[in-house]
Amino acid sequence: MAGFLYKGILLQQQKEPALSRDLREFFNADTIGVQMDREPVSDVDELTPGEIISIARSAKIIDERDGGLLADKLSECHVHPPKILIGDAIDDEPYISSQLNPLLKNQKLAADGLRIVQRAVDAQEAYFAVYKNLSDLEIKIPKLIGEYPVKRIRGRYPAEYQASKIFEGGEDVLTVGVGAVLHLARAVYYNKPQTTAFVTVAGSCVGNPTNLEVSLGMTVNQVLERCGLIDDPSRVIVGGSMTGISLIDTENTLVTPTTRAILAFRGEEKKMNFNCIGCSRCVHVCPEGLNPFFLYRSIKLHRFVDFRTLDAQMCIGCNTCSYMCPAKLDLSETIRQGQEEFRRMAGSMRAAAVAQARDEKADFETYMAQWQAGEDRRCQLRAERKAAREACRAEREAQREARRAEREAELEEKKREAREQERKLQEAALKAQEFGGKLEDLVEDVGVGITAAAVDAGEKFGELMDSTVEKLDQAIGESIAQDAAEELAQALAETKMAVPPLPTEDSYSKQEPLEVDLLAETEVELAAKEPSEAEPAVSKENPGEQVKAPAAKIASAPDMPNGGLEELVENAQEQRETAESTAGAAKAADAAAEEPEAAVEKPAEPEGTAKKPVTVLGDPAANSGWHKNNENSGRADH
């Protein structure tokens, strides 16, 4: 812990005889027996950190090192507990022993107070710190106070400031003055608030240098009179031999919790008004590493710009520069006055800077407002353009969707029509297939009917030919008979006998109907009759009905295509032409049979001669009938 504070000056401490003497009390009557407005603590070991902080706040205990409330320090450390707690008793200024003397004279109370503080902050380690560079002491400094060790800090002045700076620089260290520790112990054990301060009274004018516990609010003059003055002091310093201030009115200057010493000196202060010799001793001893001479010159020349550049605000007022200056320049006091003046100027400068910053801020805010308004307008325009683009895109998309939907609808309609057409085609195919079957049946029936009609026509033609041959035979016979009759008539005429005429060929032709009339009657009946649903069976007795049945089937087909109907019509026409050709052939044969002249000119064949068959071209049925008649006639002849 020791051995790191080398920058500074070594001073003659001159703490005796005040350090070795007993601590004396100098109270006002108003402060004797004062108690706090709370119940006394029955068991100190049962106190909680919160209760200790509350007691310190009620007692209004102030740390003499920095003038801060002890309760605030404990509250901060209650949130972030430190690892090390230090009871500060480092009196490194000459004449002053207002911390070390109360520690040595009240060791048990100091140990109890440090234990209470350690309980409040929950520190792992705690000890007391004293200054080591003390010579010619009449009292021995112990190594332990209670259960807490005493560590001696060596170094040059200002060792306490540098040690405090190093200690407090770490977040795990808490430094508390010994006077505050003693007042906390009294508040906990005796329920007493802080009404006193520990003060060292010394100097060349003091007849009885000593350490006093003085009531707060007493005047400096009362304290000096209590210790006794052997001479009228020319200078009275309050606070410290190096850092204190010189008083003019001791009657109205009061003792405060931060008053650590009252020093009275005799001897007039001489102002040399020497100039700096450039020895740089002030620079070597400054604990903050400043250049006091440049600061001094900048203040004298009112160069406050350089004053700020040289970091004058870092001066701690330790007065080492003034103490070491061989030219006896009052460097520390001049720098302090310059700090006050610069602080005032800095206040106005700060106010001007604040006003300027406010104006700049207002201008900037105006600019930003305008820029923001423009940006908002641009954003609005961008949003509007984007919305327009989105609307246009949405409209195009809607149109595209509408067109797609329309195309899909058209496609669906086409598909539906295609399906309908396909269905119709399937139905038509089914009907065509059904009609094809019916047509096949019809063609088959028509073929059968035509065949039957042809057979029937052949048979009728054969019968007609037979009848014609018979008629021819009869005609021949008649002609022969006529010849015989004529001969007979001639004979009768000759004999004048009336003979009745024989029947002629016209009578025979009128009595027998021809096949042509029959075929014509058949066609008329086929066209006139209603189409029947049932198909007549093919029979040899009525072959003409086979032609009527297909026509009835054709008329009864409601879903027959036009092509099929035309084909049937053509087939019917062909059948009709065939029937007409057959009827024509029959008429020709009949006409040939009715010619009497041909029959008369034809020579008579002798009886028993076989008749030659008459061949009809293109009609095998008729030929077959003719051969059949010839065979019958041949058998008859035989």
Residue 100 banded pLDDT, cuts 50, 70, 90:
very high
When mean pLDDT is compared across 34-43, 171-180, 281-290, 338-347, the lowest value belongs to 338-347
Closest CA to 14 of 179, 200, 185: 200
For the ranges 26-40, 166-180, 263-277, 422-436, the one whose mean pLDDT is highest: 26-40
Taking residues 285-297, what's their average pLDDT?
A: 88
Higher pLDDT, 420 or 527: 420
> So what's the pLDDT on residue 147?
92
Inter-axis angle of helices 178-190 and 107-121, nearest 10: 90
- Under DSSP, the state recorded for 504 is -
Taking residues 539-563, what's their average pLDDT?
A: 44
When mean pLDDT is compared across 6-10, 77-81, 600-604, the lowest value belongs to 600-604
Q: For residue range 124-172, what is the model confidence (pLDDT) as tens digits?
A: 999 999 998 887 777 888 999 999 999 998 888 888 877 777 766 666 8
For the ranges 15-24, 178-187, 298-307, 398-407, the one whose mean pLDDT is highest: 178-187
The token duo for 515 is: 């096949």
Higher pLDDT, 218 or 618: 218
**Residues 6 or more apart in contact with residue 611 via CB below 8 angstroms:** 469, 605, 630, 633
> So what's the pLDDT on residue 202?
93
> So what's the pLDDT on residue 353?
77
**Residues 6 or more apart in contact with residue 126 via CB below 8 angstroms:** 84, 85, 86, 87, 114, 115, 117, 118, 148
Residue 577 banded pLDDT, cuts 50, 70, 90:
confident
Residue 57 and residue 192 in contact, taking contact as beta carbons nearer than 8 Å: no
- Residue 257 reports pLDDT greater than 80: yes
- Residue 183 reports pLDDT greater than 90: yes
Higher pLDDT, 532 or 114: 114
Residue 617 banded pLDDT, cuts 50, 70, 90:
very low
> So what's the pLDDT on residue 87?
93
- Residue 573 reports pLDDT greater than 80: no
Residue 206 and residue 224 in contact, taking contact as beta carbons nearer than 8 Å: yes
When mean pLDDT is compared across 133-147, 270-284, 408-422, 527-541, the lowest value belongs to 527-541
> So what's the pLDDT on residue 426?
80
Which CATH architecture best describes the domain 24-203? 3-Layer(aba) Sandwich (3.40)
> So what's the pLDDT on residue 525?
53
> So what's the pLDDT on residue 495?
56
Taking residues 372-385, what's their average pLDDT?
A: 88
Residue 130 and residue 259 in contact, taking contact as beta carbons nearer than 8 Å: no
Domain ranges for the chain, please list them.
24-203
Closest CA to 295 of 279, 312, 318: 312
When mean pLDDT is compared across 105-109, 330-334, 349-353, the lowest value belongs to 349-353
- Residue 15 reports pLDDT greater than 50: yes
Residue 304 banded pLDDT, cuts 50, 70, 90:
confident
Contacts by 300-306, CB closer than 8 A, 24 or more apart: 300/334, 304/341, 304/342, 304/345
> So what's the pLDDT on residue 508?
45
For the ranges 184-193, 351-360, 501-510, the one whose mean pLDDT is highest: 184-193
When mean pLDDT is compared across 22-31, 297-306, 335-344, 453-462, the lowest value belongs to 453-462
When mean pLDDT is compared across 209-218, 363-372, 418-427, 620-629, the lowest value belongs to 620-629
> So what's the pLDDT on residue 150?
94
| CA atoms of 258 and 216, how far apart (whole Å) | 10
Taking residues 205-221, what's their average pLDDT?
A: 92
> So what's the pLDDT on residue 597?
43
Note the pTM of the prediction, 2 decimals. Answer: 0.55
> So what's the pLDDT on residue 497?
45
> So what's the pLDDT on residue 161?
79
Note the residue count of the chain. Answer: 638
The 10 Å Cβ neighbour count of residue 315 is 21
- Residue 450 reports pLDDT greater than 50: yes
> So what's the pLDDT on residue 587?
67
Question: If you average pLDDT over every residue of the chain, what do you get?
Answer: 77
- Residue 107 reports pLDDT greater than 90: yes
Taking residues 217-237, what's their average pLDDT?
A: 90
Taking residues 231-246, what's their average pLDDT?
A: 88
- Residue 490 reports pLDDT greater than 80: no
Taking residues 62-77, what's their average pLDDT?
A: 90
- Residue 631 reports pLDDT greater than 50: no
Higher pLDDT, 124 or 448: 124
The 10 Å Cβ neighbour count of residue 408 is 12
Contacts by 244-252, CB closer than 8 A, 24 or more apart: 247/220, 250/219, 250/220, 250/221, 250/224, 251/219, 251/221, 252/219
Residue 214 forms beta bridges with which residues?
A: 26, 197
Residue 243 banded pLDDT, cuts 50, 70, 90:
confident
Taking residues 221-238, what's their average pLDDT?
A: 90
- Residue 636 reports pLDDT greater than 50: no
- Under DSSP, the state recorded for 602 is S
Taking residues 361-376, what's their average pLDDT?
A: 87
> So what's the pLDDT on residue 168?
64
